Amino acid sequence: MLKKLLPSLLAICAGMAAAPAHASDFLWTDTYLSYRYLWQDKQPGTYKDVQEHAVNLSHADEWDYGANFFSLDVEQFTRQDATNYAFASDYQNGGTKSTGSGEFYGLFRSSFSGNKISGTKVFAFGPIKDVSLEIGADWCTQNDAFASNKKMIVAGPQFSIALPKGFWDISIHMAHEWNTNGYHDNGQADNFDAVPEFETSWLYPITIGPVPMKFTGYANLIGPKGKGTSNDAGHTTEFLAHPKLMFDVGAMAGGKPGKVDAGIGYEYWLNKFGTRSSASVPNPVQRAVFFEVGYHFN
């Protein structure tokens, strides 16, 4: 899957880099292509360490009345997280008949600034520098035993925290999700209840001596979203965190600042997709340390 989709991601990125910049359209833009390696990834339903290779293309921009962000993630797992076509007995031991699964996760968010639209500072108070209306959508699919096929829409207020540098946004959404779960509902499509969803993302630049770096990442919390179908075992609160410490290795090597990043991070997903602990999934947690390197096109 990674080999099939990687050329498409590179073509999209090349097109963005070659497109002419229009200062009147955007106040700023940042397009980022990165590679992650997770050497001991734990996946719900698997009982061995799984290696993961991931390519991500993300883009952020700000315009006269708000901001936009999208992230496209293509992930390839080793055979310990086998495809749902592998033999069941071979799946458990990660044998040679198994082939590693592939996953795609796409996310889009767009926010409309209260201060920018009103032309005032009425939405700035205390530690809050702005309040926006945020809308967005997620889509995820993976061909392993979990067989997720997530589609989610979100909407709600976003609060931007005043910081001396960088940014910190906190969003409170109502979320409606459609998904499948091969462990709980035999892969049937679930139409879940609308539930509260909390998101936060941040970036804070740090310089220690000659070393420029930034602490960045995101986290979200999704409430229990019901059973979906009568065959579903029910879902519980899920929590996902993805913090990382990135170093500006391009600037450290004497190049242009803000171009080449490298660093480490940790991904932790408790009760992935809201999955409850059960006999088939006794510990529904995804967790891994990862290494990342990436290039900023803007």
**For range 35-59, the mean pLDDT:** 89
pLDDT top residue among 188 and 96: 188
Query: What's 291's domain CATH number?
Result: 2.40.230.20
Task: Work out whether strand 28-41 and strand 285-296 pair parallel, antiparallel, or are unpaired.
Answer: antiparallel
pLDDT tens, position by position, 189-207: 788 899 999 999 999 999 9
pTM for the structure as a whole: 0.86
Q: Is the dihedral of CA 35, 38, 42, 45 positive or negative?
A: positive
Residue 264 domain boundaries: 2-296
Indicate the helix (H) or strand (E) that contains 128: strand 128-142
Residues 256, 109: Cα–Cα separation, whole Å: 29
pLDDT of residue 205: 96
Q: What does the pLDDT read at residue 18? A: 45
Q: Reply yes or no on whether the pLDDT at 230 is more than 70.
A: no
State residue 14's pLDDT score: 45
pLDDT tops 80 at residue 88: no
Asked if the model's pLDDT at residue 96 lies above 90, the reply is no
Measured CA to CA in angstroms, residue 144 lies from 86, 265, 271 at distances of: 9, 24, 17
- Which tokens go with 7? 């050329």
236-257, pLDDT tens digit by residue?
999 999 999 999 999 999 999 9
Residue 131: per-residue pLDDT: 98
Per-residue pLDDT at 85: 60
DSSP per-residue letters across 38-81: EEEEB-TT--S-EEEEEEEEEEEEEETTEEEEEEEEEEEE-TTS
Query: What residues does 266 pair with on adjacent strands?
Result: 289
Strands 238-248, 211-222: pairing is antiparallel
The number of domains in the chain is: 1
> What value does the mean pLDDT of the chain take?
86
Give the C-alpha separation, 256 to 39, whole Å: 30
